[in-house]
Amino acid sequence: MTLRTLGALSVEGVTFRREKVLLLLAYLCLEGPQPRRRLADLFWPDATNPMNSLAQHLVHLRGLPGALAEDGPRVAAAMPCDAAQLRDLTRRGRHEEAAALYGGPFMDALTIPLGADLEEWVFDTRDAMGQAARAALTALAAQAAAHGQRVRAGELAAQALTLDGAPPPDELDLPRLHHLLTLAGHPLAAQVDRDARSLGLNLSAAPAPVSAPFVGRETELSALSSLTPGQTAWISGHAGMGKTALLEALARSGGWTVLPGRADPPYATLAPLTGAPPTTPHAALSALRDVKLRVAVDGWDTTDPATQGALAQAAAARPGAVIVLAGRGHPPFDVDLHLHLGPLTPEDLRAHPDLHARTDGHPVLVGHALRGQPLDLRLGARVRAYPEHVRDTFLLLALQDQPNLRATRAALNLDADTFARTLASLTTEGLTSETGRVYAAATIREHLHQIHVHAALLHLRLARALPGDAAWPHYDRSRDLWEDADETRAAHAARQHAQAQLKRGHPGQAAALLDTLTHLPALAVTHAWALIGVGRYQDALNRLTALSAHDQQVSDALAARAVTLIRLGRTDEAVALADQISGSGPDAAHAASVRAHAARMREQWEDARRHATLAAQLWNLHGDDEAQLTELGMVARAQVGLGEAPDAVFEPLLERARGIPSARSRLLLNYVMLLGALGQHGQAEALYPDLMQALQDAGDTFGLANVHINRGVDAHERGDLTSAAEQYRAAITYLRGTGNTRLLGVALSNLSEIDHNLSAFEDALTLLAAAGQHDLVAQIRRNAQLTTP
């Protein structure tokens, strides 16, 4: 429950209407614990027995759960009160919440007579609450003005001026309200001007609104607006981090004088405050004695030493004015508030979707984007003016999403000291973060790649310095400039990059990369594994067959060839190759798996179980949990063939694989397919949602395509052609860009059969035949219901 005193007098959730009881509760909420005697004398000064009157009212308060906390002779409130909340919110600078909480004058609905002291307290509290709400509205209006929202600023200032329950605005309120109303062209500006003249105040017209976009920084604006006379604040940040924009926003919010830092003559920066530059330190300090003055100096680094000394003395002496100083470095003396500006956060830019992704929150780039200007408008010109080693450092860093500083230094052939100084300079200039990451690097790369040869040379320098996998994207960008010595290292980098893609479950990307490097024999085996992953078995076999006779007999080539042959259904050849592999390495695990698959195809379930168990043990030896669980799935399949129940052997494996999404999705896929093959369609159907979620979690597009094709075949065989077509189309969507010709050909041929599109059917079979899937083509022709020409 909350006590409501602003606008209405009530307790939320109850129908309690005793005004004096609630007034007593409000007094305790706002003034804190009180002695009983003081309460009695204040509330019942003319009563015969004030303590008895107090006791009767406390009885009523005890009837409100959680209203009172009594401790001997003292009484306190334990219930929240909106007036106390408003006071707390304004003290903490939470202006929006404070303004929303104000529902009207404090205790405006009281109808009971009050003693003189209590009545004075009610009126004083009413004025204080109204003034707090006005301050909140004025702060919101100033923030709106700072962000260029003139109409909104005028509306809020008008609310503050005419706020019911607030006292008339004083000589501190009137200048700010006049500024905000004039900025918005609001008709109430003239009334404020008249009120000010009646008080002997001269109000200057509001400055023209600045067109520069300004977003974010609400917290910083609020903190600066909350400074009190005599306090000093410091704003630091690298170049381009928005120090000047923040001070311009302060000027638009009203009541601030912003002075640009000047290098000469002495005290020239302070000249606007006195009409002419002060001539002595005492005169300079005197210019800062006005408690109504709120002054900001933009550019401490360019301000003359005499003015710096005067401002440092003012920060210590606190002569009266509020002082804000902006510089690139940290404050050289003690200040009351230090704000360090960095890039804007995604939350700062929430009103502008995608802007943070384009600019990395760099304030200069944000401003360019909001104006519709190129993001490199200023940065590009600055970079071109730098010495060559500074420019190339910046560009090499821009070519990397996560810069490798050691490799970048090696690529530039710079000593550690020169490189550190260069990086520090780029950071100070606001071009890079402290970690070397370039702001809006994608835009810089886009412009750089238009200068093809220079960009390729920079990529090559990086590729030669970066380790393995990270080097390949840069080798790829610089192929035209490779020298003989680069061929071997580039092949090594490409293999590592492709292997990383295979491990992440992206064989299509690995195959696409290695398709462009077929002239490099060192990549043949890795290429074959990628081609196997996308179902291009004949291409994988051709790649391996092109190896020299010696290279074909190497263990990893034998393993890849054996797996390719087993996928093509050439069982005897696959097993013969697998038998040539010895040892206990990964190749031996592949060989055991090939023998297990061959036994499964022959329905020799005991042999399949034995070989799959050996493969699982070998993968366990090498710490590959995913491969081990995959082979244990084959063991489970063989156990089902030997008579065990599918759920008894698969469910423990699925539980064990919960922490390995890819293995779990594959196990679940095999389990569901097996249930369907055994005719347990109801159980299989119940598992489909879990299966689809597992495949999506693992990012297994092949598995998802397989599921849709199998469900399409089931619907096809039942005669539900509409559902079958939907499943085939879903499978085709998942297969897009994967390079899996086998599954794509199956989906296309089945779909064209449903559509009775003979031409499309033949095109699909031609696609499969070109990929070496001749057995599959023959099977589809046998099953097809279309007339084959």
760-765 contacts, C-beta under 8 A, 24 or more apart = 761/786, 762/789
Residue with tokens 């501190």: 172
Query: How many whole angstroms separate alpha carbon 765 and alpha carbon 759?
Result: 10
Torsion of CA 443, 447, 449, 451, to 10 degrees: -160
Cα 41 from Cα 52, distance rounded (Å): 11
pLDDT of residue 758: 82
| Dihedral, CA of residue 679, residue 682, residue 686 and residue 687, to nearest 10 | -10
CB proximity list for 398: less than 8 A, separation 6 or greater: 438, 441, 444, 445, 448
Per residue in 531-569, pLDDT (tens digit) is: 887 777 888 999 999 999 999 999 999 999 999 998 888
Q: Residue 148 is encoded by which pair of tokens?
A: 């260029």
List own/partner pairs for 40-47 with CB under 8 A and 24 or more apart.
42/115, 42/117, 42/118, 42/121, 43/115, 43/118, 44/115, 45/115, 45/117, 46/115
Domain ranges across the chain? 223-340, 355-507, 553-644, 700-789
Say what the pLDDT of residue 619 is.
92
- Give me the sheet containing 322-327, strands edge to edge: 257-260, 294-298, 322-327, 232-236, 337-340
Radius of gyration of the chain (CA): 39
Secondary structure class of 624 (helix, strand, coil): coil
**In one letter, which amino acid is 756?**
H
The closest of 62, 57, 70, 51 to 19, measured between CA atoms, is 57
Residue with tokens 């085709």: 732
At residue 377 the predicted structure's pLDDT band, cuts being 50, 70 and 90, is very low
Contacts of 419 (CB under 8 A, 6+ apart): 393, 405, 408, 409, 412
pLDDT of 206 strictly over 70: no
The string of pLDDT tens digits covering residues 697-723 is 766 777 788 888 888 888 888 888 898
Q: Using CA atoms, how far apart are residues 584 and 594, in angstroms rounded to an integer?
A: 15
Phi, psi angles (nearest 5°) of residue 267: 65, 15
Strands 34-35 and 232-236, how do they pair? unpaired
SS3 sequence of 399-446: CCCCCCHHHHHHHHCCCHHHHHHHHHHHHHCCCECCCCCECCHHHHHH
pLDDT in tens, 224-279: 988 899 999 999 998 888 898 888 888 877 778 888 888 878 888 888 887 777 88
Q: Are 738 and 732 in contact (CB under 8 A)?
A: no
Mean pLDDT computed over 321-344:
92
Q: What is the pLDDT of residue 788?
A: 45
- Whether the CB-CB separation of 123 and 108 falls below 8 Å is answered with no
Q: What is the pLDDT of residue 113?
A: 86
Residues near 185 by beta carbon (within 8 Å), at least 6 away in sequence:
150, 154
Element (H, E) at 271: helix 271-274
Q: 548, 575 in Cβ contact below 8 A?
A: no
Q: What's the token pair of residue 773? A: 């899937």
* Residue 660 reports pLDDT greater than 90: no
Please state which of the ranges 73-82, 153-162, 203-212, 655-664 shows the lowest mean pLDDT: 203-212
Cis before 80? omega within 30:
no
Tell me the backbone φ, ψ of residue 149, rounded to 5 degrees.
Answer: -90, 80
Fill in the amino acid letter for 267.
Y
Q: If residue 298 lies in a helix (H) or strand (E), which one and from where to where?
A: strand 294-298
Angle of CA points 146, 180, 162, to nearest 5°: 130
- Do residues 750 and 716 make contact, with C-beta atoms less than 8 angstroms apart? yes
Give the mean pLDDT of the chain.
Answer: 86
CATH superfamily of 223-340: P-loop containing nucleotide triphosphate hydrolases (3.40.50.300)
d(CA 51, CA 694): 73
Q: What is the pLDDT of residue 271?
A: 84
Residue 99 has pLDDT above 90, yes or no: yes
Residue 768's pLDDT is what?
A: 77
Structure tokens at 376: 């490199």
- In angstroms, the CA 647 to CA 649 distance is 6
Q: Measure the CA dihedral 769/774/776/782, to 10°.
A: 100
| Whole-number Å distance between alpha carbons of 68 and 58 | 8
Which CATH class, in words, describes the domain spanning 553-644?
mainly alpha
Q: Are strands 232-236 and 337-340 parallel, antiparallel or unpaired?
A: parallel
CA 356 to chain centre: 9
